[in-house]
């Protein structure tokens, strides 16, 4: 798990004030880390274009040009007059050294385009929408071949992680000092490429302070591996999955839960349904049930039974149709509840809780803001907001799961996730630990799928979970 910060200016300042570093020293480390990356990947004399803006993001790029000069065929494109003191200083040094400085992209030959393009146009200082010239420039850079590196933040991604017009599409983002939340909006995922962090003169563990946002990785998974041999099916919980109108949703969840270690799985259904032989079915909640999954394909009937189930003091995952029903309000202040809405369902939840009345577009533009709003009001409820980067919150902490992929954009994969979380709840995991591990397992299964990114089915996700 890595720390993530909304803003690192305070961390930069702390390095200067507390450890006696200077802005220039931080910048030299930023440039050196990009140099190291390029040296590790490209042989001498490769053609490198560094596009530099007027502020300190541009200054990082100009310093990089100085470091690479003579080993590589370096050009810097400086489309605006350099403005910040550091950019002016770095520009003067590059000039004295004889670095090739150009002010328009058309000077470069199209046939022999650069092998590497480094985007140092705008970083954390992007404070307004891009003008036409910057949009044109980024569009042209995106259309060129070559390995694309973004310095700190791909240009065009603003503080909220939005790309209002054009953004630089990087293969890799080398971000300075620490990870930033804006790099983990759903939109940003199509621009950042891989993200790595550069140290800025002190080790990252010293640079970073406390935070309430964390980036999950595959090492954070805690699989339900069984330890004791002296066990029986009852040792691993009994999950009840409420099956509604769309019976497939509940059955997929039940199958996923069985594959993820639940000892017993029963579907609760009014009419008999076709389920695999190992899944039981009945019309009322079994007495010994240790967790419930409810909402997937439920429809809007059975209100009395739903209310009764939600009021039972059992760990639960609540999904899908229930976000469109005020009955959801009854579970919001309880412990051991996990909510798994997709963006449209989360908008409905926000409306029902009277926290906000917003569109899906507004939510997707501000995912962190609204997840935090929910977290502040319902700190003991676990929320997983689905998306390209799913966000999990509990106790005012946000965990980002960046491991998902577009292969998961299929009907029924969310039902698998609900089943996985429920399986762990049934086996005694805390709500937040169940959600983190299940969410990681869901994404890792999709990543390990060996075929392509269009053919994954919910059953493939379940098969993948079996071999993690
Ligand atoms: N602080 C430190 O110690 C360290 C900082 N570091 C580096 O500094 C970067 C932050 O630098 P920064 O604050 O100078 O901002 P930056 O991203 O260069 O942009 C500001 C410039 O862009 C302009 N501008 C903005 N929006 C625009 C638009 N839409 N269209 C056109 N212009 C626009 C804006 O114009 P102005 O508002 O002045 O008119 C200003 O000129 C950070 O990302 C990291 O790379 C590292 O070296 C480590 C140490
Ligand atoms: N582009 C994507 N990148 C990462 N994860 C995705 C992507 N598209 C969908 N997912 C994941 O797939 C699941 C889809 O769930 P959902 O929309 O509820 O589907 P359903 O209700 O049909 O089962 C969620 O866990 C979501 O995070
Ligand atoms: K940049």
Strands 47-52 and 73-77: parallel
CA of 372 to the centre of ligand 1 (A): 27
Q: Please provide residue 27's backbone torsions phi and psi, each rounded to the nearest 5 degrees.
A: -65, -40
Q: What is the pLDDT of residue 417?
A: 98
Residue 75, annotated ligand binder?
no
Q: What is the pLDDT of residue 111?
A: 61
CA of 84 to the centre of ligand 1 (A): 8
> Rounded to an integer, what distance in angstroms lies between the CA atom of residue 419 and that of residue 252?
8
Closest ligand 1 atom to residue 130 Cα is 29
Sorted by where each starts, the structural domains of the chain and their CATH numbers stand as 2-211 (3.40.50.10260), 219-465 (3.40.1190.20)
Q: What is the pLDDT of residue 114?
A: 86
Answer yes or no: is the C-beta of 79 below 6 A from any ligand 2 atom. no
Q: What is the pLDDT of residue 107?
A: 64
Q: Which residue's C-alpha comes closest to atom 28 of ligand 1? A: 130
Residue 386, annotated ligand binder?
yes
The pLDDT tens digits for 248-264 are 999 999 999 999 999 99
> Rounded to an integer, what distance in angstroms lies between the CA atom of residue 251 and that of residue 243?
7
CA of 17 to the centre of ligand 3 (A): 26
Closest ligand 1 atom to residue 12 Cα is 3
Q: What is the pLDDT of residue 299?
A: 84
Residue 261, annotated ligand binder?
no
Q: Best substitution site from 249, 386, 440 to test ligand 2's pocket, by max atoms within 8 Å of Cβ?
A: 386
Strands 397-401 and 390-394: antiparallel
Closest ligand 1 atom to residue 127 Cα is 26
Q: What is the pLDDT of residue 303?
A: 82
Residue 60, annotated ligand binder?
yes
Closest ligand 1 atom to residue 26 Cα is 49
Q: Best substitution site from 298, 409, 462 to test ligand 2's pocket, by max atoms within 8 Å of Cβ?
A: 409
ipTM exceeds 0.85, yes or no:
yes
Mean pLDDT by 10-residue block, N- to C-terminus, for the chain (468 residues)? 96 94 96 98 95 97 97 95 96 96 74 88 94 94 94 97 96 98 98 97 95 98 97 96 93 97 96 93 94 91 87 94 92 94 98 98 97 97 98 98 98 98 98 98 98 97 98
Q: What is the pLDDT of residue 109?
A: 60
Q: What is the pLDDT of residue 438?
A: 98
């Amino acid at each position: 798990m890595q720390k993530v910060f909304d803003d690192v200016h305070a961390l930069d300042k702390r390095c200067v004030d507390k450890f006696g570093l200077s802005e220039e020293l931080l910048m030299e480390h930023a440039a050196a880390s990009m140099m190291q990356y390029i040296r590790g990947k490209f042989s001498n004399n490769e053609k490198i274009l560094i596009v530099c803006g007027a502020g300190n993001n541009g200054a990082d790029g100009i310093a990089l040009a100085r470091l690479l000069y003579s080993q590589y065929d370096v050009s810097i494109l400086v489309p605006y007059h350099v403005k910040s003191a550091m950019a002016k200083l770095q520009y003067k040094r590059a000039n004295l050294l004889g670095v090739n400085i150009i002010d328009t992209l058309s000077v470069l030959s199209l046939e022999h385009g650069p092998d590497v393009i480094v985007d140092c146009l705008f970083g954390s200082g992007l404070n307004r929408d891009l003008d036409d010239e910057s949009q044109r420039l980024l569009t042209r850079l995106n259309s060129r071949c070559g390995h694309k590196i973004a310095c700190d933040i791909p240009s065009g991604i603003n503080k909220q992680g939005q790309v209002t017009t054009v953004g630089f599409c990087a293969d890799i983002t080398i971000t300075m000092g620490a990870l930033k939340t804006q790099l983990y909006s759903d939109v940003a995922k199509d621009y950042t490429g891989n993200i790595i962090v550069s140290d800025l003169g002190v080790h990252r563990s010293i640079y970073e302070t406390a935070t309430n946002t964390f980036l999950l990785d595959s090492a954070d998974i805690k699989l339900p591996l069984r330890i004791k041999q002296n066990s029986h099916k009852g040792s691993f919980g009994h999950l009840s999955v409420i099956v509604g109108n769309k019976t497939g949703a509940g059955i997929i969840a039940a199958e996923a839960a069985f594959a993820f270690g639940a000892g017993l799985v029963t579907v609760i259904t009014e009419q008999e349904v076709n389920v695999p032989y190992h899944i039981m079915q009945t019309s009322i909640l079994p007495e010994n049930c240790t967790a419930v999954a409810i909402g997937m394909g439920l429809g809007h009937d059975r209100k009395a039974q739903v209310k009764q189930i939600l009021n039972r003091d059992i760990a639960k995952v609540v999904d899908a149709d229930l976000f469109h029903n005020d009955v959801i309000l009854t579970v919001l202040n309880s412990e051991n509840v996990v909510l798994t809405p997709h963006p449209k369902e989360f908008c409905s939840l926000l409306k029902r809780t009277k926290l906000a009345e917003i569109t899906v577009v507004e939510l997707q533009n501000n995912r962190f803001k609204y997840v935090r709003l929910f977290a502040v009001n319902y700190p003991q409820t676990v929320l997983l907001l689905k998306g390209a980067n799913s966000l999990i919150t509990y106790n005012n902490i946000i965990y980002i799961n960046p491991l998902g992929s577009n292969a998961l954009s299929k009907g029924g994969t969310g039902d698998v996730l609900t089943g996985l979380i429920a399986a762990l709840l049934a086996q005694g995991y805390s709500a937040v630990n169940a959600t983190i591990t299940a969410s990681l397992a869901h994404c890792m299964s999709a990543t390990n799928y060996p075929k392509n990114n269009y053919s994954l089915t919910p059953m493939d996700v379940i098969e993948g979970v079996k071999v993690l």
